[in-house]
Amino acid sequence: MDTQDTSETRRVQGQVKWFDPSKGFGFVIADLGGPDILLHANVLRNFGQGSVVDGSTIEIMVQDTQRGLQAVEVLAITPPQSDSSVPLRDMVEFSADDIANQPIHPARVKWFDKAKGFGFANVFGNNEDVFVHVEVLRRSGLSDLQSGEAVGLRMVDGERGRMAIEVVGWELAAK
């Protein structure tokens, strides 16, 4: 059975309802209403991310298929604003501008355990571990990281060594 359709694609803005990287998919709710839109992991990976945090604003190209609406391209993702979170002690002194002015370093995830709330990555060409906290991940619009995943890191020297203050998709790191 063919699940593809030759219908035109259209631009949709919405909100990520949920995304589960282990299942390989999630759903988007369009701002203008209508049925949920399937967001497959491969479409998200083509944008340079392996996950996206629930509640993120997302701009996508969608297509009608025999199985319903599906995202075929991610154009932009904006993480949800989280005013209620307690800032990490090492990040209190950094404004959004301070973070944005840090260079992006291409890195590979060594391991990340969502249940523990942290993990480590290595900048390419350097074996030094960089600490990645789950709250930094959420603020960056990501929900999880996979071992071996390529990402970009903005980093600072924290109390216990190098730590990520922002994690970006590979596409931004490669520029």
Give the HSE-up count for residue 6: Cα atoms under 13 Å, Cβ half-sphere. Answer: 0
Give the closest residue to 63 by CA, choosing from 19, 9, 143, 11.
9
CATH 3.40.50.300 is the classification of domain 10-78: no
- Per-residue b or e along 97-133, where b marks 16 or more CB atoms closer than 10 Å to that residue's CB: eebeeeebbbbebbebeeeeebbbbbbeeeeeebbbb
Looking at residue 2, its pLDDT comes to 46
Looking at residue 1, its pLDDT comes to 40
Q: pLDDT per residue over 3-21, tens digit each?
A: 455 579 999 999 999 998 8
Fill in the amino acid letter for 25. F
Q: Specify the pTM.
A: 0.67
CATH 3.40.50.2300 is the classification of domain 89-174: no
Better-scored residue on pLDDT, 2 or 32: 32
Bridge partners of 126, per DSSP, are: none
10-78 and 89-174 share one CATH topology? Answer: yes
Q: pLDDT per residue over 38-70, tens digit each?
A: 999 999 989 888 889 888 999 999 999 988 999
The token pair that represents 30 in the structure block: 């369009």
156: helix, strand or coil: strand
Burial class (CB in 10 A: 0-12, 13-18, 19+), 150: middle
In whole angstroms, give the CA distance from residue 120 to residue 143: 15
The residue length of the chain stands at 175
Enumerate the domain spans of the chain: 10-78, 89-174
136: helix, strand or coil: helix
